[in-house]
Amino acid sequence: MLNTRTIKKLFKELNNELLKKNIRGEIGICGGAVMCLVFNARKATKDIDGIFAPTKEIRAAARRVAQIHGLDEGWLNDAAKAFFYTDPPRTDVMAFSNLNIWAPRADYMLAMKAISARFDTQDKDDLIFLIQHLELKSEKEVFNIILKYYPKNIIPPKTQFLIEELLDDRSPLT
């Protein structure tokens, strides 16, 4: 598991690897890394999901950092890029000489977490946090945010069910 301190250290080392090759990079983080670094809503995450450029060079630098620390090569991955349906509104997270890290704003993160709605992850807890953080009180408010970033036809039924469950009258959120 990667805690906030470790994530910051790995990004600093990733920057150093890019600096050695005179490459400037950018990483847009999402998922658990955002919940750790931006919102302090979790203590750790198993990996860092995001989108990055230049892709090939950052992947190579991430592999070198993984080898140094005995990490899985997927510690930094772009498997979640399919959930970036539109270009998100951004919040700067960290800046180094050769690497900038940004994250989607809270409302976009809520939409991403709702669309993915994975039951074998911390998506539900993250959604609860984001709903509270954004002070949302109804399903309609949550779906207005989701529809701001994703067309209705790609919202899976599981999203509807999860949001209904979270905002049910008996839910601890309401």
- Give per-residue pLDDT as tens, 31-60: 999 999 999 999 999 999 999 999 999 999
- State whether 28 and 95 are in the same domain: yes
- State whether 115 and 47 are in the same domain: no
Question: pLDDT confidence of 117, banded at 50, 70, 90?
Answer: confident
Rounded distance, CA 136 to CA 132, Å?
Answer: 6
Structural domain boundaries, residue 64 = 2-104
- State whether 121 and 83 are in the same domain: no
Predicted confidence at residue 173, as pLDDT, reads: 56
N-to-C CA span, the chain: 32
- State whether 39 and 71 are in the same domain: yes
Q: Average pLDDT, whole number, for the chain?
A: 93
Predicted confidence at residue 80, as pLDDT, reads: 87
Residue 12 pLDDT > 70: yes
- State whether 100 and 143 are in the same domain: no
**From the centroid of its chain, how far is CA 45?**
10
- State whether 98 and 115 are in the same domain: no
Final residue of a structural domain among 65, 80, 104 = 104
The model carries a pTM of 0.91
Predicted confidence at residue 174, as pLDDT, reads: 46
Structural domains of the chain, count: 2
Predicted confidence at residue 82, as pLDDT, reads: 85
- State whether 96 and 150 are in the same domain: no
**From the centroid of its chain, how far is CA 139?**
22
- State whether 65 and 30 are in the same domain: yes
Rounded distance, CA 113 to CA 106, Å?
Answer: 10
Rounded distance, CA 161 to CA 43, Å?
Answer: 27
Greatest alpha-carbon span in the chain: 56
Predicted confidence at residue 171, as pLDDT, reads: 52
